[in-house]
Amino acid sequence: MPEILPDLRTADGVLFDLDGVLTPTAEVHMRAWQSVFDDVFQQWGITPAYTEVDYYAYVDGKQRSDGVASVLRSRNVEIPWGDVADDPTAETVCGIGNRKNAAFAAALRSAGISPFAGSVALLEVLREARVPMGVVSSSKNAEEVLTTAGIRDFFTVVVDGVVAHRLGLGSKPAPDMFREGARALGVDPATSVAVEDAISGVASASVAGFATVVGVDRGAGPEALREAGATCVIDDLARLVPADTGSDAPDDRGSSDREESE
């Protein structure tokens, strides 16, 4: 039996995750993390090797330093936390996180980024329906990614890693960031929608009180997203474009890109 999908035009507001939901930047993040952890594991003799499985289990959707700490703890490795201003060469949690961010930023500025076509089609429908929209992303690069992708103007609110650090918000799967997104957008989570592709992000929105949490499966797996709290799971935001809009929403399912932590 086909899954019944929500009509987002009836929501009080919609909060979107960024990487892997709106833009295919997740693959860039994943490659940057792989490169950094490959070097760290080799230099420090850490085993077993870092893999994509570790990304989904310990990094995906989290704030940068929390992702680093989670991966290292999974190998029983503890290092100083350091400071957010640490040089990328520093052997601290923050230093490793900043090393990864430098790799991601270089790749973004070199190649640029375009949003998922299906996501843009949905954003246009929601803007036409005057539904308030915001972004909730663990990434400290969110503003640059949104601007580079040409979609910043769709959103009145962006709660990202920079905002989370300033306000002391807990990293996903804690509900803090989605609660702040709803507060800033001026909507009630119970009558609004969250759209996420990370297991930690789905859990965050669910605990924050969003009655409708759309899981976008870019690799995490539909069952894992449902177990985390997704009320429905799709493979592309084009699925949420209502047929009565007359929009021929492009299908982005062929992309292999996914979401990341910042």
Residue 93: count other Cβ atoms within 10 Å of its Cβ: 24
The Cα 29–Cα 74 span in angstroms is 20
- 39: Cβ–Cβ under 8 A, 6 or more apart, which residues? none
Q: Which residues pair with 133 in a beta bridge?
A: 14
Burial class (CB in 10 A: 0-12, 13-18, 19+), 234: buried
The Cα 253–Cα 116 span in angstroms is 10
The Cα 79–Cα 91 span in angstroms is 8
Catalytic residue among 12, 17, 86, 244: 17
The Cα 215–Cα 224 span in angstroms is 10
Catalytic residue among 7, 12, 19, 38: 19
Sign of the CA dihedral running 162, 183, 185, 221: positive
DSSP string, 94-108: HHHHHHHHHHHHHHH
Tell me the one-letter amino acid at 68: V
Q: Which residues pair with 233 in a beta bridge?
A: 215
What spatial distance separates the first Cα and last Cα of the chain, rounded to whole Å? 37
The Cα 178–Cα 200 span in angstroms is 12
The Cα 22–Cα 213 span in angstroms is 15
17 is catalytic: yes
Known catalytic residues are 17, 19
